[in-house]
Structure 1
């Protein structure tokens, strides 16, 4: 999927293309207190499927843990994989989503 979406045919072959918006910082800036306030107001059940090997996990464990704790009704599951977990490991991702919507708990909250 990523290859199809990010390849561009050029004379003599192909080249990678990117969306420059992905490299632009968000105009929305929230403090950690503001983020936590938003998270505490979530009333719906939440499923967080997180990649065990995500490059974005290193250095953010404390912040992630605090944000998870701010959500009252959250199920957390860490699965093998990286940033593109849903493409690297689709079967377990789909199974956890199915179980979540059917009301089954697979929580590993941390």
Structure 2
């Protein structure tokens, strides 16, 4: 964990985590919170529609969410274009998980 934090602090960049739902089982999401707290690096979590509900049991993570962006289905790309546009506008403003 220490090496991850050092690497991020050396070259800070936003971290985008897809399938974040899988981090909830096994409490791995707390490791992501710790990385965020140590580096102040913006983190974007992508997951299934129930991700926000699942994160409620991790209050220290859930309280750090700056903004929830929900995808809607647009043709065959399942709303990824919609999310990309929203993230492009706000990615630099993200300061919390």
* TM-score > 0.5, shorter chain as reference: no
Structure whose alpha-carbon radius of gyration is higher: 1
**Which of the five TM-score ranges fits, normalised by the shorter chain?**
0.3 to 0.5
Q: Which has the higher strand share?
A: 1
Structure of higher RCO (CA pairs closer than 8 Å, 6+ residues apart) = 2
Q: Which has the higher helix share?
A: 2
Q: TM-score, normalised by structure 2?
A: 0.45
